[in-house]
C-alpha cells in the first residue's frame, strides 16, 4: 500500500497544479452570468455558464473593472481569467482579471421572449385565475419525493390542520425531462378529480435548476388545469414562467402549504381568542362572587354565625329522628301486609290442597287429567296424594 494523503494535501496539490499551469493562467472564457451576488466584502460571486456546463467565478474587490457593479444575471461576457482552486473545498473557480465586453445572454433572452408571448396571449391575466377553496380537505403536492421542501410542507400541514389529506405526486424537479414529468403529474392530478388544490413545489436551487419551470408546454398545462394550482418554487426572489401562469404564487414550498391552509390557521386563532376571553370572564365572575361573599361574611358577627350553625344542626337532628320514626311505622305496616299475603299463598298451595283429601291425576306422560273423557279403558294413570304417588289402571 502506497503513501496515504490527507484531504488537505490533495486539495492543496490540485490548487498548486492549476496555479502553475501556463495555459490556465491567462485564459479568455465566454459565458452567461447567473446567480450573481455582490457581497458586502466587495467581492462579486457568480456562476459562469453555457448551455451545457457551469463554473464558479469571482471578481475580487481590488480588481479595477469599471462596470463590474452593473453586472447582472443574464449578461453574456468574455473575461480574462485565471483558473484556480479553493483549497478548503477543492472547488475549481474562475478568478476574473478583466471583462472584455458584455451583452444579454440567450437564456435570459429566451425567458423574456416566452414571458412576453404568454402575457400577450392572456395566460397571466387575473381574470383566468381560480380562487383557492376556503377549507380544502385534499391537497395534491407535485414535487420530488426526496426533496427537503416536501418534509417542510408536511410539517407545516400537521401544525395547521392534522385532518387535511396530502397526496404526493412524485415528479422530476430539474433537468431536461422535468417539464414532461411535471406535465404528466398535472394531468394525473386532474384525472383523479378529488383534489381541492394542487401545489407545484421545489425548494431552493440555482437559476439553472429552476429553468425547467420556464417551459412553454408546462405553462399551458398549468393554465388549462381544472384544479387551482399554487406554485412554491425556489427562494422568495426567484420567479419563473410557472409562477406567472399559476393561480397563486407562494415564495417557498412551506409558504405554499400555509397559504392553502391559512383559513384553518385563522379559525384556530379565533377559537383560541374566544377561549381566552371565556376564561377571563369566568375568572372575573369568580373574583366578583368571592368579594361579594367576603363582604357578606364581614357583615356578620362570628358568634351569630356559630349560633346559626348550631340551630341548623339541631333542626337537622330533629328531622332525622322524625324521618326514622315514620320510616319504622311504614316498615312494620308493610311487614304485616306481606305476612298476610304469604299466609294466603300458603293456603292455596298444591301441597296444602292435597292434605285436605284432594288428589292430582296424570297420565303416563305426566299430562294432568282434568276430565274423565281424557281416559280410555286400560290406560295407566298416576295418582298423586299429599304423601306420595300411586299407579293405577282404568278397568272400564
pLDDT, tens only, 125-184: 999 999 998 888 999 999 998 877 888 899 988 888 888 999 999 999 988 899 999 999
Asked if the structure places residue 319 within a domain, the reply is no
Helix pair 253-260, 262-298: axis angle to 10 deg = 60
The secondary structure of the chain in percent helix, strand, coil, rounded to multiples of 5, reads: 45, 25, 30
Are 182 and 96 in a shared domain? no
Global confidence as pTM: 0.52
Asked if the structure places residue 268 within a domain, the reply is no
Are 142 and 222 in a shared domain? yes
Domain boundary among 228, 257, 286: 257
CB contact set of 181 (below 8 Å; sequence gap of 6+):
171, 172
Residue 320, pLDDT score = 77
Are 46 and 150 in a shared domain? no
Residue 291, pLDDT score = 80
Are 57 and 144 in a shared domain? no
| Residue 138 to residue 171: CA distance in whole angstroms | 19
* Residues across the chain: 396
C-alpha cell read off for 324: 326514622
Burial readout 270-290 (b: 16 or more C-beta within 10 A, e: otherwise):
eeeeeeeeeeeeeeeeeeeee
| Residue 12 to residue 87: CA distance in whole angstroms | 6
Domain boundary among 235, 257, 279: 257
pLDDT, tens only, 170-197: 999 988 899 999 999 999 999 988 999 9
- The one-character DSSP state at 62 is T
Asked if the structure places residue 217 within a domain, the reply is yes
Residue 188, pLDDT score = 94
Host domain of residue 387: 351-393
Measured CA distances, 100 to 31, 54, 97 (Å) = 12, 19, 10
Asked if the structure places residue 279 within a domain, the reply is no
The domain spanning residue 253 has which CATH number?
Answer: 3.40.50.960
Are 160 and 241 in a shared domain? yes
Are 182 and 221 in a shared domain? yes
Asked if the structure places residue 380 within a domain, the reply is yes
Residue 346, pLDDT score = 65
Question: If the chain, 396 residues long, is cut into consecutive pieces of 10 residues, what is the mean pLDDT of each piece?
Answer: 82 83 84 89 90 90 82 85 87 88 70 91 93 90 87 89 90 90 94 92 80 92 95 84 94 90 75 82 82 71 72 79 77 75 67 71 81 82 81 83
Give the number of other CB atoms < 10 A from CB of residue 129: 15
Residue 302, pLDDT score = 67
Residue 163, pLDDT score = 85
Residue 310, pLDDT score = 81
Domain boundary among 85, 104, 123: 104
Three-state secondary structure string covering 238-272:
CCCHHHHHCCEEECCHHHHHHHHCHHHHHHHHHHH
Asked if the structure places residue 235 within a domain, the reply is yes
Are 57 and 145 in a shared domain? no
Asked if the structure places residue 61 within a domain, the reply is yes
- The one-character DSSP state at 61 is T
Asked if the structure places residue 303 within a domain, the reply is no
Burial readout 368-396 (b: 16 or more C-beta within 10 A, e: otherwise):
ebeeeeeeeeeeebbebeeeeeeeeeeee
Q: Give the chain's domain count.
A: 3
Are 97 and 152 in a shared domain? no
| Residue 76 to residue 72: CA distance in whole angstroms | 9
Amino acid at each position: 500500500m502506497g503513501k496515504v494523503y490527507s484531504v488537505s494535501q490533495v486539495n492543496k496539490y490540485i490548487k498548486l497544479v492549476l496555479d502553475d499551469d501556463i495555459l490556465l493562467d491567462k485564459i479568455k472564457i465566454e459565458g452567461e452570468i447567473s446567480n450573481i451576488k455582490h457581497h458586502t466584502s466587495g467581492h462579486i460571486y457568480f456562476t459562469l455558464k453555457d448551455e451545457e456546463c457551469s463554473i464558479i467565478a469571482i471578481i475580487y474587490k481590488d480588481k479595477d473593472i469599471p462596470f463590474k457593479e452593473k453586472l447582472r444575471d443574464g449578461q453574456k461576457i468574455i473575461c480574462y481569467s485565471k483558473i484556480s482552486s479553493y483549497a478548503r473545498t477543492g472547488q475549481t473557480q474562475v478568478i476574473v482579471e478583466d471583462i472584455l465586453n458584455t451583452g444579454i445572454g440567450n437564456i435570459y433572452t429566451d425567458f423574456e421572449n416566452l414571458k412576453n408571448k404568454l402575457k400577450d396571449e392572456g395566460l397571466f391575466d387575473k381574470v383566468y385565475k381560480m380562487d383557492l377553496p376556503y377549507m380544502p380537505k385534499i391537497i395534491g403536492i407535485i414535487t420530488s419525493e426526496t426533496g427537503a421542501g416536501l418534509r417542510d410542507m408536511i410539517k407545516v400541514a400537521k401544525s395547521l390542520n392534522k385532518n387535511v389529506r396530502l397526496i404526493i405526486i412524485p415528479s422530476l424537479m430539474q433537468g431536461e425531462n422535468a417539464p414532461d414529468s411535471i406535465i404528466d403529474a398535472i394531468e394525473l392530478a386532474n384525472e383523479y378529480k378529488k383534489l381541492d388544490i394542487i401545489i407545484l413545489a421545489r425548494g431552493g436551487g440555482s437559476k439553472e435548476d429552476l429553468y425547467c419551470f420556464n417551459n412553454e408546454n408546462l405553462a399551458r398545462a398549468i393554465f388549462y388545469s381544472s384544479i387551482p394550482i399554487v406554485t412554491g418554487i425556489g427562494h422568495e426572489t426567484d420567479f419563473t414562467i410557472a409562477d406567472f401562469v399559476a393561480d397563486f404564487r407562494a415564495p417557498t414550498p412551506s409558504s405554499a402549504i400555509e397559504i392553502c391552509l391559512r383559513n384553518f390557521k385563522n379559525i384556530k386563532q379565533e377559537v383560541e381568542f374566544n377561549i381566552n376571553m371565556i376564561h377571563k370572564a369566568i375568572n372575573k365572575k369568580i373574583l366578583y362572587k368571592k368579594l361579594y361573599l367576603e363582604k357578606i361574611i364581614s357583615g356578620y358577627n362570628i358568634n351569630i354565625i356559630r349560633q346559626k350553625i348550631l340551630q341548623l344542626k339541631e333542626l337537622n337532628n330533629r328531622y332525622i329522628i322524625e324521618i326514622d320514626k315514620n320510616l319504622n311505622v311504614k316498615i312494620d305496616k308493610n311487614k304485616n301486609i306481606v305476612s298476610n299475603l304469604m299466609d294466603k299463598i300458603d293456603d292455596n298451595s298444591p301441597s296444602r290442597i292435597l292434605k285436605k283429601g284432594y288428589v292430582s291425576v296424570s297420565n303416563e306422560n305426566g299430562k294432568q287429567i282434568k276430565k274423565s273423557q281424557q281416559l280410555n279403558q286400560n290406560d295407566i294413570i298416576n295418582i298423586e296424594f299429599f304423601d306420595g304417588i300411586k299407579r293405577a289402571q282404568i278397568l272400564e
